[in-house]
Amino acid sequence: MNKKRDAKNKSYYIGLIIIHILLLSMTLTKRKDRKTIFLTLLLIVGFAFHFEYPLYILKAYRYRTGILRTKEKDNSFGSVLSQALFVPSAAIFISAFQLGWKMKILFTFYFVFIERLFLKVKIFKNNWWHTSFTAISICTYFFVSDVCYKGIKKSKKLFSNLTLYHSIHLTYMSLLFSASLFGLFRFTPTSRTTQPWYEHYSFTKVYLVIETVITTFILERKKKWLKVLPLFIIVIVDRVLLKMDRLKVKGSYWLGLFPIRMIAHLLSFQLQRWIKK
């Protein structure tokens, strides 16, 4: 019975994934200003994740994608799909093609319909969240996307700095989220818990905000030797957390988690060069 339910859940979410990948692909292929589009996408995905952080921690709603076996992992994966693909792909489509308020309202109703449908077939659950909150936040998000797109297109310093921060944050988050899904590491902020993944994911979100602020600030300094400092700080903090038993790593830290940290830092360095070019 559970297998049939998971298969049904998967079909809805996979269908939505295909629709929004096609929407994003069309935006990137039909428009020539691909760098502006991609940078705007990174920025608004970052905004979406920051907006969703407290909602996840406060358990506003629950996703049931049926893609991952563990319920809490499945919930966080649904959250990632929503904030990284579903809503941002629609927002960048509207901004890139400079569509007006009518299309914003239309897409808002589209997401409201999706949420109501998912609630009805029980593959999404609202706890204290309400669909009206979804409508207001998504419609607002579309207008924020327009502002970001125009700011990046005009090469405004504020938007350039915000894009750098969110790009680095997304790089760290994507790599660490994937690594933790495969069981390579886990944060344990409390010694006893009945919700290990929930605590790990919640802690990771907050930890990476601080980590990204430090990394972005240091990378913006002119002295080249400072570029290695963020990685050095990260390794020290990781080692302290390991000593405190607040970070658990599968196998050796230097062969498991450290290479991921190194890759994330190198990608961040390259992103800075590309964004500031």
In the beta sheet, which residues pair with residue 221? Answer: none
Could you list the beta-strand ranges (E) of 202-270.
Answer: 247-249
Put residue 99 in one of left, alpha, beta given phi > 0 → left and psi -120 to 50 → alpha. Answer: beta
Domain borders along the chain are 2-153, 158-275
**pLDDT (tens digit per residue) in 213-241:** 999 999 988 888 888 999 999 999 999 99
Determine the pLDDT at residue 8.
Answer: 79
Cβ–Cβ < 8 Å for 85, 100? no
User: In the chain, pLDDT over 90 holds for what percent of residues?
Assistant: 88
Are the C-beta atoms of 142 and 108 separated by less than 8 Å? Answer: yes
Question: Predicted confidence band at 3 (pLDDT cuts at 50, 70, 90)?
Answer: low
Q: pTM score > 0.75 for this model? A: yes
User: What pLDDT is recorded for position 2?
Assistant: 66
Helices (H) and strands (E) counted in the chain, each on its own, are 10, 4
pLDDT tens digits for 89-104? 999 999 999 999 999 9
**At which residue do the structure tokens 């450290």 appear?**
258
Across the range 258-271, mean pLDDT stands at 94
State the burial class of residue 207 (Cβ atoms within 10 Å of its Cβ: 0-12, 13-18, 19+).
middle
d(Cα 10, Cα 204) in Å, to the nearest integer?
26
Task: Please report the pLDDT score of residue 153 as a whole number.
Answer: 95
DSSP-derived 3-state class of residue 28: helix
Which residues partner with 124 through β-bridges? 63
| Cα–Cα distances in angstroms (integers) from residue 258 to residues 167, 185, 204, 270, in the given order | 20, 11, 16, 18
Give me the chain's average pLDDT, please. 94
For residue range 105-160, list pLDDT tens digits in order: 999 999 999 999 999 999 999 999 999 999 999 999 999 999 999 999 999 999 99
Q: Residue type at 195? A: Q
Query: 20: alpha, beta or left, given left = phi > 0 and alpha = psi -120 to 50?
Result: alpha
Pairwise CA distance, residues 17 & 82, whole Å? 9
Contacts of residue 10, defined as CB under 8 A and 6 or more positions apart, other chains included, come to 65, 66, 67
CB atoms within 10 A of CB 143: 14
Q: pLDDT digits over 197-212, tens only? A: 999 999 999 999 999 9
